[in-house]
Amino acid sequence: MPAIYALYVINKSGGLIYNKEFVVMASNNLNDTLRLASIWHSLHAIAAQLSPAPGCTGIELLQADTFDLHCFQTLTGTKMLMVVEPNTPDVDILLKDTIYDLYCDFVLKNPFYEVEMPIRCELFDLNLFQTINNVHRRWGLIH
Amino acid sequence: MFSSPLYRLNIVDRPLAKGKGEVSLSAFSFLFSELVQYCQTKVSNIGELERRLEDIGAEAKDLEQSNTAEDEYMISDYDLFVNKFISVPKDMGALNCAAFVAGIVKGVLDGAGFRARVTAHFVPVKGQPKPKTTILMKFDGTVLAREHRLPSL
């Protein structure tokens, strides 16, 4: 059953600037989340350099037994991470098209947001929840 | 290929392209966002920020607050385009960036000879997550007096 667990946004320097969980998760610990963000940032950078594939920009997908972790990096180096149920389809498209659009609209066009700082924008939260709910409804998770 | 006389002219001598008369909402939003941020660096409190945004849209700004309560007009918008992407932080309270629009309205009214105090407010709507924006126009006493005089002419 496909499902979206959580969304994280990591800034250029590896700091966690946004985290939102859409289901109740086992270890809901902010310190763990911060650690995940900075470790992922480093792994992503190292992978981009070590990869034998030419023009590699970093890890895009990590598949584990209990989750898939999709990563989308913007041109400016901000990373969006989405933790989903294994084999959830089209998450890369969702990140790149929908979530990135929401980020541009409700975070970057908000005059009260300072770049690289934690995201506290009411409208971003609101629209993100709507989007995730719509996706979950389409998958029949909620009615 | 470059035989047209226009191409032989220096680029600065050519007429300007007329361009499109419309601007994308994204471009406008980014510009407006920068404008608000610029104003923010110049003020020490929220009221001052709103007044600055008003002043950018307004021509005349020496109007005193009118005590005439009878002549207030309002324009309401449920999804005002300048507020479409803006989330106001909690510590900024009732700041409404539509103060910029209020300034434009004030500029037009003042230009037409209707001196008014124009302000922007959030008004909560039942059953809606987002409040609507109301542009409140409070006309000057002289305008009222003139309007009362007119029908008797």
pLDDT, tens digit, for every residue of B18-33? 777 788 888 888 888 8
Give this prediction's pTM. Answer: 0.77
**CATH match for A4-138 among 3.40.718.10, 3.30.450.70, 1.10.3720.10, 3.40.50.150:** 3.30.450.70
Question: Tell me, what's the pLDDT at B108?
Answer: 87
Fold of B18-152: Muramoyl-pentapeptide Carboxypeptidase; domain 2 (3.30.1380)
pLDDT in tens, B76-102: 777 777 888 888 888 887 788 888 888
Q: Rounded to whole angstroms, what are the CA distances from B113 to B41, B57, B131, B150?
A: 33, 16, 32, 14
Name which of A101, A121, A123 to mutate to probe chain B: the one with the most chain B Cβ atoms within 10 A of its Cβ.
Answer: A123
For residue A23, give the nearest of A132, A138, A97 by alpha carbon.
A132
- The DSSP code for B128 is -
ipTM score here? Answer: 0.70
Please give the structure tokens belonging to residue A94. 């969702």
The rounded mean pLDDT for chain B is 77
Q: Find chain A residues with C-beta within 8 A of B97's C-beta.
A: 111
What SS3 class is residue B84? coil
What is the H or E stretch that residue A71 is in?
strand A68-73
Is A131 exposed, middle or buried, given 0-12, 13-18 or 19+ CB atoms closer than 10 A?
middle
Residue A60, pLDDT > 80, answer: yes
pLDDT in tens, B105-149: 898 888 888 888 888 888 888 877 778 888 888 888 888 888 788
Measured between its terminal Cα atoms, the distance across chain B in Å is: 69
pLDDT in tens, A72-91: 999 999 999 999 999 998 89
* Mean pLDDT value of segment A101-130: 92
Question: Tell me, what's the pLDDT at A75?
Answer: 92
**Is A23 an interface residue toward B (CB < 8 Å)?**
no
Q: Strand runs (DSSP E) across chain B, as ranges?
A: 72-77, 116-123, 132-139
Question: Tell me, what's the pLDDT at B22?
Answer: 82
Sequence spans of domains, chain A: 4-138
Which among B26, B33, B129 is the nearest to A111, CB-wise? B33
Please report how many Cα atoms fall inside a 13 Å half-sphere around the Cα of residue A102, on the Cβ side: 21
Sequence spans of domains, chain B: 18-152
CB contact under 8 A, A112 and B88: yes
* Mean pLDDT value of segment A107-111: 91
Question: Tell me, what's the pLDDT at B52?
Answer: 75
